[in-house]
Amino acid sequence: MSQLGLPLAWPDGPGDDAFLVSSANQRACALLDRWATWPVMTALLVGPRKSGRSLLARVFAARSGGRVIDDADRRPEQDLFHAWNAAQAERRPLLMVAGMAPPEWRVALPDLRSRLAACPLARIAPPDDALMALLLERRFNRRGLDARPELIQWLVARLERSFVAVERTVDLLDHDALERRRRLSIPLARATLTDAGILLPLSPEPASEKP
């Protein structure tokens, strides 16, 4: 997969639930796309909350015909052990989705631990600026909110690079815009998000941005 300058839908399509690819998850997508080259028939997909890892796993299952175990780090270890063995015997790809990979994911069963160590790892990183912008735009659109490009860029420069921060920001601005009966704007976002304590500290803003 070639280097992407901006996020794109994967697979191509206009659907609102298309998985967006950027440098944050491009390597993970490429590894899942090449499942036939895995050294074993099981891989791990890990990523932070709200990163779209479950959606990416569903795309993988549709493309490969494979099986997915979501929240694998919360499942009984014996079940995972038997699923790993079944994937090798059936030659059907298996994707285990988790919040973290071993050793952060503490696996007590030695036989499972050794098998997971042999699995290729697809990791979703925190979102980059391009993905942050598209995620904000998508979530505002879902709420029917008119978020202008200048507001999106203002937010991208001031939010923690996390999928949870994107979701929380849209929730807060949606609530305050409705409650105050005001359109989305940089002054509204500044007031709302400062009160919530989720803006990153920056150097002083240009005078033109201040209300």
Return contacts of 55-62, CB within 8 angstroms, 24+ apart: 55/17, 55/19, 56/19, 56/25, 56/28, 56/29, 56/32, 56/124, 57/95, 57/97, 59/10, 59/11, 59/19, 60/32, 60/35, 60/95, 61/95
Amino acid at 63: R
The domain made up of 8-123 has a fold known as: Rossmann fold (3.40.50)
How do the domains of the chain map onto residue ranges?
8-123, 129-209
Burial string for 200-210 (b: 16+ CB within 10 Å, else e) reads eeeeeeeeeee
Per-residue pLDDT tens listing for the chain (211 residues)? 333 333 333 343 344 457 888 889 999 999 999 999 999 999 999 999 889 999 999 999 999 999 999 999 999 999 999 999 999 999 999 999 999 999 999 999 999 999 999 999 999 999 999 999 999 999 999 889 999 999 999 999 999 999 999 999 999 999 999 888 889 999 999 999 999 999 987 645 544 444 4
The domain made up of 129-209 has a fold known as: Helicase, Ruva Protein; domain 3 (1.10.8)
- Say what the pTM is: 0.79
